[in-house]
Amino acid sequence: MEIPLSPPPLKELIQEANAETLPQLAQLRLGPLANGRYLHWDDLRHRTPPNGLSHKIWWLALSLARSVSAHTLPFHDKQGKAFTYSLPEPLLKNLHEIDRSAGLAPGGEGNATLRSDQGRYLFSSLIEEAITSSQLEGASTTRRVAEAMLREGRKPSTLSERMIFNNFEAMQRIREICGDTLEPGHVIELQRVLTEGTMERPEDCGRLRTSDDIEIVAPNNDRLVLHRPPHHSELPKRLKILCDFANESVADDTFIHPIVRAILLHFMVGYDHPFADGNGRTGRALFYWYMAKQGYWLVEYLSISRILRKAPAQYARAYL
């Protein structure tokens, strides 16, 4: 895995343009997508530009189209630049499909049948997410042993089993607070539940990060540093902004689709890395919390971590 190549600066792109290319771009009316996909510069530079454009001019056109449709968020990177997001048409279609399929659609014989047997299905899905979320973070016990531990109510006997047990407890805790207003204390408590008895420094369990000796490295290559999170002194303020964002009403002036908002909560926990450990698990827990809060009840039956575990490098690149 390599860090994606950053795009050329805007000044360089503008210098590439001339009196001939600008009218050509206006005529082509290029949108934010390239061949139907929302590509990063590192991918775009290997593809054939349309109608003889250079890669830089092609990227300039896409960047301008994306900036027009971008929405500003209350979050900022380490340099103080606001994060933005866009909703290209393929994503809107996917959001619509999820809305139809994730429990929001009224009625339906299939949904009624599933709800009637909710307890049995839900318990199995909680077990699945607890196991795969822990495996994403390095837990190594077998699925059979882990599932037997949770079903039998046996106390964990190894570090890996403890991680899985904690994840299961956290998933149950999410169901208890899904109707609550999210406070920083809730997030810190989730991290405590997820990491209790698993950390090298027990004092880091249930508190925000107090140092900056933390680096996020690439999967299977701990020499490649992908990200250094913001200074620990900023974390209380950044966590409060995160909670305020989570608590905004969907009826507010600036509407953000609930699924997009849940994804952004997940992303920002990964970016801020507010804890010494357990950030990935906490981010995924908040994703579940917000989806449940917004009525996507079928998401409780899905293991997001199972999907992410199939492509850990792609999961890591999504933050870059």
The residue that leads in pLDDT, 239 or 153, is 239
Q: Are residues 174 and 258 in the same domain?
A: yes
- The radius of gyration of the chain from alpha carbons, rounded to an integer in Å, stands at 22
Q: Are residues 46 and 187 in the same domain?
A: no
- Please report whether residue 1 resides in a domain: no
Output the pLDDT for position 222. 76
- Please report whether residue 14 resides in a domain: yes
Output the pLDDT for position 50. 87
The residue that leads in pLDDT, 226 or 265, is 265
**Of 84-93, 129-138, 224-233, where does mean pLDDT reach its minimum?**
129-138
Burial of residue 172, with CB atoms counted within 10 A of its CB: 0-12 exposed, 13-18 middle, 19 or more buried: middle
**8 A C-beta contact, residue 156 and residue 165:** yes
Strand 82-85 relative to strand 221-227, pairing: unpaired
Q: Are residues 285 and 199 in the same domain?
A: yes
Q: pTM of the prediction?
A: 0.87
Q: How far apart are CA 186 and CA 192, in angstroms?
A: 10
- Please report whether residue 3 resides in a domain: no
Q: Inform me whether the pLDDT recorded for 263 exceeds 60.
A: yes
Output the pLDDT for position 103. 62
| Residue 226 tokens, joined | 């992908």
Q: How far apart are CA 45 and CA 1, in angstroms?
A: 18
Q: How far apart are CA 5 and CA 304, in angstroms?
A: 28
As for how many domains the chain has, the answer is 2
The residue that leads in pLDDT, 112 or 66, is 66
Q: Are residues 180 and 93 in the same domain?
A: yes
Output the pLDDT for position 143. 80
1-40 pLDDT, tens digit each: 778 889 999 888 888 887 777 777 777 788 899 988 999 9
Q: Are residues 25 and 163 in the same domain?
A: no
- Please report whether residue 2 resides in a domain: no
CATH number at residue 286: 1.10.3290.10
| Residue 98 tokens, joined | 């999820």
Q: Are residues 159 and 20 in the same domain?
A: no
Rounded mean pLDDT, 177-201: 93
Q: Are residues 143 and 65 in the same domain?
A: no
Q: What is the mean pLDDT of the chain?
A: 85
Helix 184-195 to helix 235-247 angle, to the nearest 10 degrees? 110
Output the pLDDT for position 251. 67
Q: What is the three-state SS of the chain?
A: CCCCCCCCCHHHHHHHCCCCHHHHHHHHCCCCCECCECCCHHHHCCCCCHHHCCHHHHHHHHHHHHHHHCEEEEEECCCCCEEEECCCHHHHHHHHHHHHHCCCCCCCHHHHHHHHCHHHHHHHHHHHHHHHHHHHCCCCCCHHHHHHHHHHCCCCCCHHHHHHHHHHHHHHHHHHHCCCCCCHHHHHHHHHHHHCCCCCCHHHCCCCCCCCCCCEEECCEEEEEEECCCCHHHHHHHHHHHHHHHHCCCCCCCCCCHHHHHHHHHHHHHHHCCCCCCHHHHHHHHHHHHHHHCCCHHHHHCCHHHHHHCCHHHHHHCCC
* Domain interval for residue 37: 10-69
- Please report whether residue 5 resides in a domain: no
Q: Are residues 252 and 216 in the same domain?
A: yes
Output the pLDDT for position 105. 45
pLDDT band at 110 (very low <50, low <70, confident <90, very high): very low
Give strand pairing partners of 82: 76
60-102 pLDDT, tens digit each: 999 988 998 899 999 999 999 999 999 988 899 999 988 887 7
Burial of residue 86, with CB atoms counted within 10 A of its CB: 0-12 exposed, 13-18 middle, 19 or more buried: middle
| Residue 63 tokens, joined | 């960047």
Rounded mean pLDDT, 178-205: 93
Q: Are residues 143 and 256 in the same domain?
A: yes
Give strand pairing partners of 206: none
